[in-house]
Amino acid sequence: MRIGVLTGGGDCPGLNAVIRSVVRTAATQYGSEVIGFRDGWRGLLEDRSTPLDVAAVDGLLTRGGTTLGSARVAPEKLDAGLDTMRRTLDRHGVDVLVPIGGEGTLTAAHLLSEAGVPVVGVPKTIDNDIDGTDLTFGFDTAVSIATDLIDRLHTTAESHQRVLLVEVMGRHAGWIALHAGLAAGAHLTLVPEEPFDVDDVVRLVTERFARGDSHVIGVVAEGAHPLPGQMAFREGGVDEFGHRRFTGVAQQLGEELERRTGKEVRATVLGHVQRGGTPTSFDRVLATRFGLHAAIAAHEGHRGQMVALRGTDIDLVPLARAVARLKTVPASRLRELHAFTG
């Protein structure tokens, strides 16, 4: 058998560990070959590939990013390129394609699968917002990095009796903010799932200083936004790939808070540092198990499925189910979070 692999969407710690695991499983358990397509779907559209044998994936377990590269392609171009991609796969004798990606890449994988291309998907995203799997690799690494950095902000904030707002990633889902906020003892955490009430935030800041607390740490997901009409808030529109452009919610909320509370506020945007560098041991193991089970599923004839973590087991779920909706933070988890607000 010959397996094709590609990585799509934003890079994520653990992608290389999946690639290594697919290659090693295919080679050592089945004597199969693997070919990597470069820069996501673009590699299939432009026929750019590289053979992947066991030697080629040596050292990849701990390496962040993706050695195959990743790129975005406008969905319309992808739809129009379906036959081109199919021809590329045929030319290279690929029996099963294993796309590793987020909800966008997996939506495209589902479309290919519906069009008859044999596909076994692997979910990746630091945002942890893919449905059908309890967790995605990259999330634990991103939370660990964010937690470490927020820990460091406590001392500088208390030294100056300041409010520090930390903006973390999370386009549609507040999982990183929720976990890093809880882990680092933030006084306030704002997520995209629940528009925030600026009056409540002003009250929290005022009350903390009034009762003698030294500082305020607020964690703000990049996709968080205020209730309509509460403060001036710039919208950034969408980019050519249909993604919302962010305009710096922490900075804008910070300016509003300074004006209304008279306290000094600083905003820190963690940005891409959250997805750079080596994956945590948890993510290395999850990525390795995903790669192993994707290769097994490919050889056992499963198609149109995605590997998923359910409890402690790796299962298969239909791609159709995985991409039907995003996995956002449920109300029950938000209630838990609110118990630690203030």
Ligand X SMILES: Nc1ncnc2c1ncn2[C@@H]1O[C@H](COP(=O)(O)OP(=O)(O)O)[C@@H](O)[C@H]1O
Ligand Y SMILES: O=P(O)(O)OC[C@H]1O[C@](O)(COP(=O)(O)O)[C@@H](O)[C@@H]1O
Residues marked active site are found at 127
Q: Annotated binding site for Mg(2+), which residues?
A: 103
DSSP 8-state code for residue 221:
E
Cite the annotated binding site for substrate by residue number: 125-127, 162, 169-171, 222, 266, 272-275
Instruction: Decide if residue 125 touches ligand Y (CB under 6 A).
Output: yes
- Phi and psi for 171 in degrees, rounded to 5? -70, -55
Q: Does 121 bind ligand Y (CB under 6 A)?
A: no
Q: What angle do CA 108, 109, 114 make, to 5 degrees?
A: 95
Which of 8, 64, 81, 104 is close enough to bind Mg ion by CB under 5 A?
Answer: 104
Q: Applying CB under 6 A, does 126 fall inside the site for ligand Y? A: yes
Q: Which of 161, 160, 154, 25 is nearest to 96 (CA)?
A: 25
Residue nearest to ligand Y according to CB distances in the complex: 10
- Could you list the beta-strand ranges (E) of 107-242: 120-123, 163-168, 188-190, 216-221
10 touching ligand Y, by CB under 6 A: yes
Q: Which residues bind ligand X (CB under 6 A)?
A: 8-10, 41, 72-73, 75, 78, 101-105, 107-108, 111, 125, 241
- Contact positions with ligand Y (CB under 6 A) in 273-292: 275
Name the one residue in this structure whose structure tokens are 């990525």.
Answer: 287
Residue 174 binding ligand Y, by CB under 6 A:
no
Binding-site residues from annotation: 10, 72-73, 102-105, 125-127, 162, 169-171, 222, 266, 272-275
227 three-class SS: coil
Rg over alpha carbons for the chain, rounded to the nearest Å, is 22
Cβ 276 vs Cβ 255: under 8 Å: no
Contact, 330 vs 134, CB < 8 A?
no
Interaction between residue 256 and ligand Y (CB under 6 A): no
6 binds, among ligand X, Mg ion, ligand Y, none (CB under 5 to 8 A by kind): none
9 binds ligand Y (CB under 6 A): yes
Q: How far is CA 293 from CA 12, 47, 305, in A?
A: 19, 27, 11
Among 33, 127, 194, 283, binds ligand Y (CB under 6 A): 127
In the bound complex, what is the minimum distance in angstroms from residue 165's beta carbon to ligand Y? 17
Q: Does 138 bind Mg ion (CB under 5 A)?
A: no
Bridge partners of 266, per DSSP, are 164
Dihedral sign, CA of 77, 80, 83, 84?
negative
Is the CA virtual torsion 224, 279, 19, 25 positive or negative? negative
CB of 150 to ligand X, least distance (A): 24
Q: Which does 111 bind (CB under 5 to 8 A by kind): ligand Y, Mg ion, ligand X, none?
A: ligand X
Judge contact between 23 and 56, C-beta under 8 A: yes
Determine if 294 is a binding residue for ligand Y (CB under 6 A). Answer: no
Based on the shown chain and the rule CB under 6 A, indicate whether residue 167 belongs to the binding site for ligand Y. Answer: no
Closer CB to ligand Y, residue 118 or residue 223? Answer: 223
The phi and psi torsions of 298 (rounded to 5 degrees) equal: -60, -45
Terminal C-alpha separation, the chain: 57
Q: Which of 64, 65, 81, 102 binds ligand Y (CB under 6 A)?
A: 102
Q: How far is the CB of 99 from ligand X (least distance, A)?
A: 9
Please select the residue that binds Mg ion; options are 64, 65, 102, 121, rule is CB under 5 A: 102
Residues near Mg ion, by CB under 5 A: 102, 104
Residues near ligand Y, by CB under 6 A: 9-10, 102, 125-127, 169-171, 222, 275
